[in-house]
Structure 1
């Protein structure tokens, strides 16, 4: 009873220790069917290895179709607008040529008419002067009673008619001059300019329509440019949702596989759980009385683990099911007045995580679930009785095997074949 009760209370050694490591849950990033699953429970994997390939053929493309339809409508409307704008500009160029030709013709015609009217005004002035001279001569003759008023009245009427004719020609001349000046300013007055005014009005209407079409084409181009962003983003989103490859984030060992090939999964469904071998640690059970001796920072020796030594990082009084779910194996069950010592590996020269199998030429970076023995450094030599009995049993077994082998060899030497 003494050997069973006293040593666990004061022992600096515990064989109730197990190698543990955090577990990472690998989930499906998209909805779809698992086309390939290249892993199995217990398999060791490296960072970047492909775990699964998921494809989704039942992808909803309604949003992309709607966006592309809007873009197609805008593109067709833009093409029609640009074609109509090009037609208007071509027609406008022809109108400008026709108007320029008629303007030059009308200016030349007005200049000729003005010269003709100026000649007629000069002629009317000359005729009016001649009539005035005749009126003056006959008036003097009537004053001298040489002629009668019957002779003077027709002459007065002809003189008045000549003056009116001169005024009429001057009015025509002024009208043509005003028309020419107005024509040069872009104002079209008179019946002879009606056809030209119609062409100019049509040109104005076509020009306004072309400007409106140019603005509409600019708006449609900007609308198309704005729609390219959402369409491209939607295509990228669909590409991501249509196919995905799940890669291993870090080196470790596959603890369990939750899916199979051909299975339909939803985003967030578990595919596998990965033991993070780079974060291995040891959970050891000690008595509460060893709390002061196993404070954080205490160095310990570890037998049977991938790492030969470690440092106590924390003491945990108890665990829970929720905490155990985060690790590869549950913490060992404690008895009354016992606690957990969390031991992290102490790596030296890069060899702290090599296992015995690795040293023999095999790759085995994970020793999760392996029972080990933890011994406090620089402490009194109070071993665990279970360790003592196990070592004694190992010694007896090895001694018995050696004796049996020696007896067999002597027997073979005595008895002839």
Structure 2
């Protein structure tokens, strides 16, 4: 028979041996996982304000560039009471400031008028005193001349009285006249000194005279206006600060109301619409999930491997990734290695990671730049099954590791 032929039996044995070697060779040269999943994260766009959605967002699967406006949210029920109150307070403060500035201008004009009147009065007073000084100087000259004449007359009459020519009464009258003329000169000099003192005081701004105060009414009134003007300027300064504060508060409140009354929902990055939760005209509140946006910029793969090989795979190790049903190989590298009992729940994953069926290590690989990251029509192939293979880095054969683990379990 054909199968009893020795040559055929040798060929069958060699074929079985080759098949065994081919089947076992991948296990000796590396590690292979057949249940990997292409995965990515999505971003949740939530409502920044409450209100009504202006239009229906694009359909699921639509790819949109970065900063694209999807729709707007409008809210016409914003309470602007605080804004109106601030606006009214600001208007009142501006009116008060305007009135204070007008009053300050009037007081300044009055102060200038009083200063002018004071200057005129001081000038007239100086001229009057200077004229009186001139008169006193003339009187002193006249008094000196009268005193010289009286003394000469007294001397003559005393000589004549000694010879009996002139009566003693005439001599006494002449003596009285001489004394009187001397006193008039002394009085005139004293009045001249008094006028000079008044002139000096007047030049310094002090008005000294009988029936007068130290300053005239115009100067007193000017001092009162100066004090009143300082008070008005202080009030105006306080009011200006209040106006600035109200303007700042009104700007902040108005900007806040504008933000709460209208908001534009834009894409933070280029991606594809993963899920829509609203339509045009929908009412939303703050924090409501509006859209889920798939982020295809960083694709990764989650796989499971037997945990006995945990120490053989390190972060940064290269790996080959192949989509199930294709022959194209995508390069990747290990991002993290976690044990079977590690908590890996992530609410932002677009695909469900493979479920462990035993003691499996969870490995995540980052994919290099590839065409899947721009294949938005197919959602960047998120959720597809892949095969991943790692090259064996150690020279230890799997049989040796198996024997070591068996010996450890027996001991």
Tell me the TM-score normalized by structure 2: 0.74
Aligned partner (choices 315, 322, 328) of residue 350 of structure 2: 328
**Counterpart of 2:367?**
345
How far is the alpha carbon of 1:28 from its aligned partner? 2.0
315 and 179 in structure 1: CA distance in 2 versus 1, 3 angstrom threshold: closer
**Counterpart of 1:395?**
none
Q: In the TM superposition, what are the counterparts of 1:196-345 in structure 2 within 5 Å? A: 197-225=216-244, 227-288=246-307, 296=315, 297-304=317-324, 308-311=329-332, 313=334, 314-318=336-340, 323-345=345-367
**Would you say the 8 A contact 2:352–2:383 is kept in 1?**
no
CA distance in 1, matches of 2:132, 2:264: 91
**Would you say the 8 A contact 2:52–2:75 is kept in 1?**
yes
Q: Secondary structure at the match of 1:333?
A: coil
85 and 66 in structure 1: CA distance in 2 versus 1, 3 angstrom threshold: same
CA distance in 2, matches of 1:181, 1:295: 105
**Would you say the 8 A contact 2:321–2:387 is kept in 1?**
yes
How far is the alpha carbon of 1:211 from its aligned partner? 4.2
312 and 294 in structure 1: CA distance in 2 versus 1, 3 angstrom threshold: farther
**Would you say the 8 A contact 1:14–1:374 is kept in 2?**
yes
CA distance in 2, matches of 1:377, 1:200: 103
CA distance in 1, matches of 2:195, 2:314: 119
**Would you say the 8 A contact 2:296–2:373 is kept in 1?**
no
How far is the alpha carbon of 1:57 from its aligned partner? 2.8
**Counterpart of 1:394?**
none
CA distance in 1, matches of 2:103, 2:330: 85
Q: Secondary structure at the match of 1:100?
A: helix
Aligned residues: 364
CA distance in 2, matches of 1:292, 1:151: 154
353 and 154 in structure 1: CA distance in 2 versus 1, 3 angstrom threshold: closer
102 and 171 in structure 1: CA distance in 2 versus 1, 3 angstrom threshold: same
Q: Secondary structure at the match of 1:327?
A: coil
Q: Which moved more, 1:140-149 or 1:328-337?
A: 140-149
Q: CA RMSD in A?
A: 3.6
CA distance in 2, matches of 1:326, 1:228: 44
**Would you say the 8 A contact 2:154–2:178 is kept in 1?**
yes
**Counterpart of 1:374?**
387
305 and 188 in structure 1: CA distance in 2 versus 1, 3 angstrom threshold: farther
Q: In the TM superposition, what are the counterparts of 1:4-403 in structure 2 within 5 Å? A: 15-191=34-210, 197-225=216-244, 227-288=246-307, 296=315, 297-304=317-324, 308-311=329-332, 313=334, 314-318=336-340, 323-347=345-369, 351=371, 353=373, 355=375, 363-370=377-384, 372-376=385-389
CA distance in 2, matches of 1:185, 1:285: 105
Q: Secondary structure at the match of 2:159?
A: helix
The runs of 5 or more residues in structure 1 that have no matched partner are 1-5, 380-417
How far is the alpha carbon of 1:327 from its aligned partner? 0.7
Q: Secondary structure at the match of 1:186?
A: coil
How far is the alpha carbon of 1:188 from its aligned partner? 0.4
Q: Which moved more, 1:299-308 or 1:267-276?
A: 299-308
How far is the alpha carbon of 1:90 from its aligned partner? 1.7
CA distance in 2, matches of 1:295, 1:151: 150
18 and 141 in structure 1: CA distance in 2 versus 1, 3 angstrom threshold: same
How far is the alpha carbon of 1:26 from its aligned partner? 1.4
**Would you say the 8 A contact 2:38–2:302 is kept in 1?**
yes
Q: Deviations over 1:270-296 (max 9, x none)?
A: 222222122222333444466577655
**Would you say the 8 A contact 1:16–1:285 is kept in 2?**
yes
**Would you say the 8 A contact 2:208–2:214 is kept in 1?**
no
**Counterpart of 1:385?**
none
Q: Deviations over 1:171-228 (max 9, x none)?
A: 3333222222221121101248669711122223323433444454445445544554
The runs of 5 or more residues in structure 2 that have no matched partner are 1-22, 393-411
How far is the alpha carbon of 1:315 from its aligned partner? 4.0
Q: Secondary structure at the match of 1:200?
A: helix
Tell me the TM-score normalized by structure 1: 0.73
**Would you say the 8 A contact 1:308–1:352 is kept in 2?**
no
12 and 176 in structure 1: CA distance in 2 versus 1, 3 angstrom threshold: closer
